[in-house]
Amino acid sequence: MIEFWTILIIKTLVAFAVSMLIVAYSTWIERKVLGHVQLRYGPMRVGFHGLLQPIADGVKGFFKEELIPDNADKPVFLLAPIISIGAAITLVVVIPFGDTVTIMGHKIPLYLADLDIGILFVLGISTIGSYGGMLGGWSSGNKYGVIGGLRASAQMISYELPMALAVISVVMVSGTLSLVGIVENQAGLWNVVKQPLAFFLFIICGLAEINRTPFDMPEAEAELACGFNVEYSSMKFALFFMAEYCHMFVFAAMVTTLFLGGWYGPLLPGPVWFFIKTFAIIFFCVWERSTFPRYRYDQVMELGWKVLLPAGLLNILLTGLWMLVFNI
Amino acid sequence: MELIILLICGGLTIITSLLVIFARNTVHSALWMVASFFFMAVLYLLLQAEFIAILQIIVYAGAIMMFIIYAIMMLNLRQEERAPMRKTKVVGVVALLVLFLELLVVAVGRGLLAIKGPVTDQLMAKFGHIAVLSNFLFSDYVLPFELASILLTAGVVGAVILAKQKSE
């Protein structure tokens, strides 16, 4: 019993620390890659090539003055960043980092929980996370904030459907909702080969769900002066920021798990492959940000409902037909 | 262990449900509703119904409440509104007493015509699935059934009243 709890606690702490470290250094990756794409260096002053910059930013966040607007709905204003970061970190629980390993005679699976309903858990909790941005925008009593919050919720509702449809076709070929099961099913052939359309749909909808360019409607700087987080300062702003990068990490991990074969790969151990693939997706997120301009709001909605949703339905139909014809 | 969690989450479900009704701010009351859905999901988990629990979160807490909050934010209902006292409250109290009496009669008189004993395959074969179900609904579970129907009626009447007030 004691052994079970010790292993569980150590695993939780390690998973938490690793994800927070990745979140912190995703900001560094983003700034460096964006910088080099735009023919500048990015952060250079703090540490070697700005390696200590995330830590300096964190310290700065803690020491800055905190402002709460008079017009704000105070309890909700305080709650919003907590919902955002809380939901984002909760998602780390179901990520399968690797297969079972044996350390000092103990068999330790490299994931915190293998839920039967793993993928549904991810979809459900990530929706809850979007309450953060929505309520944050509404409670600050600022019109830009409210518009940003409204956009966040509208975008969430519109892109969750095609995303779930893409996931359904993966579940159809895997025959399980458990993330570990889905990875184990890809031992021979990755799902990206079996489900190329679902892969594209998932990437596009995922970018919209984590509010990245070209879908960063809720905080479009040019029109909304930063949108839902416009009234937030100091650590509360940093929490929103961290939640965004944590969502990006979870999104990259989900793409890896659902489509890129999770921890499977030749020569190197499982977790190394997992992180190589995950960081490739994170790099992709930054790369496309520096390449594509932002969509207009009505275009975002049109793409979601008129293109992605029918494509998702079509993909399910094709998958079903394929499974029926080849009798899988 | 499970009993403690059940008591805590059951209690919190009731408290948050009450706060949905008593919160003056519309958005706050919607948020209490989200919280109450979460505690209900925990209750489902205690019943080993993982799938229903996560559906509760995805469908109710995620999708439906998202729509409701979206609508509330569009309407911009930040000001707290206080409803004035009305003479119709007397009528309301009388109607409530009548309903309570009805409930009492049903609760006391229950089980007179009911099939006795546990549900068995023989019973199912004799009366049919729905007959047995409705029998239990109207004997052992008559109190929750009646309470739910009163709640739904009150909800419909309340919605009509709120809509009427606006058009006057």
Q: Does the residue B11 lie in any domain?
A: yes
Q: Cα separation of A136 and A228, whole Å?
A: 6
The last residue of one of the domains, among B20, B46, B75, is B75
**Residues B97 and B159 both lie in one domain:** yes
- What is the per-residue pLDDT for A320? 87
B34 contacts A131 by C-beta, under 8 angstroms: yes
**Residues B69 and B94 both lie in one domain:** no
Which of B27, B57, B58 is closest, CB to CB, to A76? B27
On chain A, the residues whose CB falls within 8 A of the CB of B50 are 115-117
Q: Cα separation of B26 and B9, whole Å?
A: 24
HSE-CB for A76 with a 13 A CA cutoff: 23
Q: Which residue of B lies nearest to A160 if distances are taken between CA atoms? A: B63
Scanning B8-37 for CB atoms below 8 A from A yields 25, 27-28, 31, 34
Q: Does residue B21 carry a pLDDT above 80?
A: yes
- CA A226, A228, A229, A231 torsion: positive or negative? positive
Q: State phi, psi for A109 to the nearest 5 degrees.
A: -75, 135
Q: Which residue of B lies nearest to A75 if distances are taken between CA atoms? A: B28
**Residues B100 and B141 both lie in one domain:** yes
On chain A, the residues whose CB falls within 8 A of the CB of B74 are 150
Mean pLDDT of A117-131: 84
Interface touch B69/A121, C-beta < 8 Å: no
Alpha-carbon gap: A167 to the closest alpha carbon of chain B (Å): 14
- What is the per-residue pLDDT for A124? 85
- What is the per-residue pLDDT for A137? 80
Interface touch A127/B70, C-beta < 8 Å: no
Q: Does the residue B80 lie in any domain?
A: no
Q: Cα separation of A295 and B105, whole Å?
A: 64
**Residues B57 and B125 both lie in one domain:** no
Interface touch A134/B73, C-beta < 8 Å: yes
Q: Does residue A168 carry a pLDDT above 60?
A: yes
- What is the per-residue pLDDT for A304? 85
Alpha-carbon gap: B58 to the closest alpha carbon of chain A (Å): 5
Question: Mind giving me the DSSP string for A217-278?
Answer: GGG-HHHHTTGGGTT--HHHHHHHHHHHHHHHHHHHHHHHHHTS-TT--SSS-HHHHHHHHH
A21: closest CA among A68, A54, A60?
A54
Give the containing element (helix H, strand E) for A77: helix A74-90
**Residues B66 and B99 both lie in one domain:** no
On chain B, the residues whose CB falls within 8 A of the CB of A150 are 70, 73-74
B100: closest CA among B30, B50, B150?
B150
- What is the per-residue pLDDT for B117? 62
- What is the per-residue pLDDT for A14? 86
**Residues B69 and B97 both lie in one domain:** no
Q: Cα separation of B84 and B82, whole Å?
A: 6
- E strands of chain A, at which residues? 100-103, 106-109
A80: closest CA among A146, A17, A157, A159?
A146
On chain B, the residues whose CB falls within 8 A of the CB of A117 are 50-51, 54
Q: Does the residue B112 lie in any domain?
A: yes
Mean pLDDT of B126-155: 75
A142 contacts A69 by C-beta, under 8 angstroms: yes
Domain assignment of residue B111, given as a range: 88-167
**Residues B133 and B98 both lie in one domain:** yes
**Residues B57 and B102 both lie in one domain:** no
Report residue A273's pLDDT band, with 50, 70 and 90 as the boundaries.
Answer: confident
The last residue of one of the domains, among B53, B75, B97, is B75
Classify the phi-psi angles of A102: left when phi > 0, otherwise alpha if psi is within -120 to 50, otherwise beta. Answer: beta
Q: Does the residue B83 lie in any domain?
A: no
- E strands of A175-222, at which residues? none
Interface touch B57/A134, C-beta < 8 Å: no
On chain B, the residues whose CB falls within 8 A of the CB of A75 are 28
With 0-12 CB in 10 A as exposed, 13-18 as middle and 19+ as buried, what is B90?
exposed
**Residues B154 and B92 both lie in one domain:** yes
A133: closest CA among A147, A120, A117, A115?
A147
**Residues B49 and B99 both lie in one domain:** no
**Residues B49 and B107 both lie in one domain:** no
Q: Cα separation of B65 and B58, whole Å?
A: 10
Tens digit of pLDDT for each residue in B97-133? 887 787 777 766 665 556 666 666 666 666 666 666 6
Instruction: Name the residue ranges covered by the structural domains of chain A.
Output: 2-325
Scanning B116-135 for CB atoms below 8 A from A yields none
Tens digit of pLDDT for each residue in A1-49? 787 788 888 888 888 888 888 888 888 888 888 888 888 888 888 878 8
Classify the phi-psi angles of A68: left when phi > 0, otherwise alpha if psi is within -120 to 50, otherwise beta. Answer: beta
Q: Does residue B89 carry a pLDDT above 80?
A: no
**Residues B60 and B112 both lie in one domain:** no
Task: Enter the ipTM.
Answer: 0.75
Count structural domains, chain B.
Answer: 2
The last residue of one of the domains, among B75, B97, B121, is B75
Q: Cα separation of B22 and B5, whole Å?
A: 25
